[in-house]
Structures are given as structure tokens and as C-alpha cells.
Amino acid sequence: MQARLLLQDGTIFTGKSFGSEGESTGEVVFNTGMTGYQEVLSDPSYCGQIVTMTYPLIGNYGITRDDFESVRPFIHGFVVREHEVAPSNWRSQYTIDNLLKEYGIIGLSGIDTRMLTRILRNYGTMKGILTTSQKSVGELQEQLTAMSLMTDQVAQVSTKSVYSFRGEKERIVLVDYGSKAGILHDLTKRGCDVVVVPHDATADQIRRLAPDGIMLSNGPGDPKDVPEAVKTIAELLGEIPIFGICLGHQLFALACGADTVKLKFGHRGGNHPVKDLKTNRCYITSQNHGYTVLEESVLNTGLEVTHINNNDKTIEGLKHTKHAAFSVQYHPEAAPGPFDSSYLFDQFIDMIRTYKLDNPQATQQTKMLAAAQLAKATAPKGDLQYAQK
């Protein structure tokens, strides 16, 4: 069946459909990864987007459930040069076509993805409509003009309830703005006791979980669309060690008083060079974001830039000069790779342990005794004697 992709600038691409049939709208973006299409499809950070893969052959090693980054895909469309209908891989359970059909996602193949990518690079990401219908171009353009990009992606992809993975070491509260499974995996394999909470968890709700550290996850969309998260982070800053990744990095920056801005076409792929300003070492990183922290806004916020992108010099890492908190724009939990930056999880745990040594907490027995003494001092006359009876 024929499928078409219409961009808001009027450019139309016609090819063959695979996956589901129907119509879908979203922001059209591109990913430069040569592998990892499963992780792209299941990354919640792509919620509301039509994703174009620049690598020409997609689906050649099939689909394996173990490699998913979330329970289901959230993308609004998938565009490739060629999709493989007969994958070759002993781990493969089914094809990419089967996956898209299962979740009602439209696929488009057989178009010049190089041309599409160059349009997005030159003019920036733009709205698009992907369809298998026979509607006229005029009808599709009217729909596209009336369409607004999503602003509630985080609420759609975040967990609705608290859940945990028990461990024997530090307790980490993972705030789920659209968290990838890789973050949970990297924490649990280090023995952490992880409690995952919804994106709108309040500071008091997080405090009641008695965390040793707080992990701010990745997620989709504009960080300014999640003001409640910025408020919560600002309340907890300086009280509990914090590590932010991707959207978590941007929310951390906003909570400290910095600003964010949308990039022309974003950073999406597994081959982005990032320079550590302290060591001058360059790391190859996996990235997926459309926004960045504005460099001039960092002044007088208590933040220090720790990493920059070697391609466009945008901010890739921040740390607070007074509080135990840092963040990176890229993905240290990258799957299928690279794994250059997984050491950041160890750095986070080391920061927690140093913070606990420098800020010893009163034992539970001491807290209970202090509470009892306060109750005795403030209780109305007679109440305490009555309680003793």
C-alpha cells in the first residue's frame, strides 16, 4: 500500500507503507544511529514524533523484547529507506513490521531519507503528517496547519504509580519523566535500592521515601511544559544529592535559574562527541533531545559547565558549585551503546557517599526521642499524664 509524508513546508514524500494503516501527525525528526532501531522505537523520549532513520537498512536483525527501553513504543511514525522483511538473528522474535502493526504505528519506506534529513538539517524539525489514506494534498495541508504539537508527553509516558526494585545499597528515587529501562538497569546492577515515582511526585512525597539520592530521568518534549517538576527539584536541591539525565538535565538547569531553548534539529543518535572540560577527554555519546540549556543563562545560577558538544559547542554537562548535584545532556545508560559514559553512575554513588560522610544523619532512635521531647514540651497540661495512664 502507498503511504505519504507531508511536511509543513509543503514537501511530500511518497513510498510504501509497512506496519499499521491510517493517519498520524507529529514533529518530524531524524536519528543518525547505525544500530539500535529497537531502542529508538521504544524510547519514551520520542513520544509525539515521526522518526526518520538515516541508516538505509532497518530491521535486519529483527525485534527482541529484551532490548526494549519501555513497555511499548510511543512514536507517532517511523520512516526508513528500506525495511527488512526477513531478519537474520538467532535472538529475533518477530519483524519490525509486526511490531508497528501491534501498536498501531505507521511505517513509510522506499523514500529518499537523505533528502528528508537534509531538509530537516537546513530548515529545522517541522510538523508532518503520515498517511495511507487517499486524501488530497490540500486536505492534508489544512490538517497540518491546524495541528498543534503535543505539550503533555511527559504525563503520557510517566508511570502512574510508585514501584520499586530492592537492593542492599543506596536508596535512589528515580523520577520518571519517560525513563529508559537502561537507567534502572545501571542502578540495580550497582546494588541500589530503586524506587520509581511519577513525574508529578512532590518534594514531600519524595522525602517520605528517605532517599540517599535522586535520579532525574530522560523524557520527551519541552522542559518548560513540566513546571511542577522544576518546583520539586528546586525544593530538594541541597537537601538530597541529585543526578539528571537529558530532560532531567534541562529541568535541573531550570530549577537553578538557567534557561532552555529549542535547537534547530536536535541531537539524536549514537555518535555525538562530548568534551569533558576538566580532563579535555572526548567521549562518544548517545543522545536524543531537541532542547538545550542556554549558555549565557548559566551565569550567576551556581552552576558550572562541565561538558560541551564538540560539534556545536552546546552545553552537555552541569554541576552545582555549592550543592551535591550534577547533570548531563547525553545518555550514560546508552543502549546499544556506546558505553563510554557509564562511569557517571559510579560518580553519582560516590557523590552520595561523600555527602553522607559530610552530612551525618541522626539515627531513627535519636529522631524519635527528639519528637517525644517536643511533644512533651508542647502538650497541654494534663494530656501527658492521661497518656501515661
Query: Any binding-site annotation on 299?
Result: no
Non-local CB neighbours of 281 within 8 Å, separated by 6+ positions: 275
Query: Any binding-site annotation on 247?
Result: yes
Q: Give catalytic residues, as residue numbers.
A: 246, 331, 333
* Residues 246 and 274 sit within 8 Å (Cβ to Cβ): no
Written as nine digits, the cell of 355 is 555527602
Please spell the DSSP secondary structure of 179-241, one letter per residue: --HHHHHHHHTTT-EEEEE-TT--HHHHHTT--SEEEE---SS-GGG-HHHHHHHHHHTTTS-
Please spell the DSSP secondary structure of 80-120, one letter per residue: -SEE-SS---TT--B-HHHHHHHTT-EEEESS-HHHHHHHH
Query: Any binding-site annotation on 290?
Result: yes
Query: Any binding-site annotation on 291?
Result: yes
Cis peptide bond upstream of 223, omega within 30: no
d(CA 278, CA 304): 11
Nearest to 234 by CA among 254, 249, 248, 214: 254
Beta bridge partners, 288, equal 268
Residue keyed to cell 572540560: 277
Sign of CA dihedral 256, 269, 185, 226: positive
Query: Any binding-site annotation on 386?
Result: no
Written as nine digits, the cell of 195 is 524506587
d(CA 330, CA 271): 11
Query: Any binding-site annotation on 250?
Result: yes
CA angle 185, 61, 274 (to 5 degrees): 50
Helix (H) or strand (E) holding 263: strand 260-276
Using DSSP, state whether 228 is helix, strand or coil: helix
Written as nine digits, the cell of 185 is 538497569
> Known binding site for L-glutamine: residues?
45, 219, 221, 247, 250, 288, 290-291
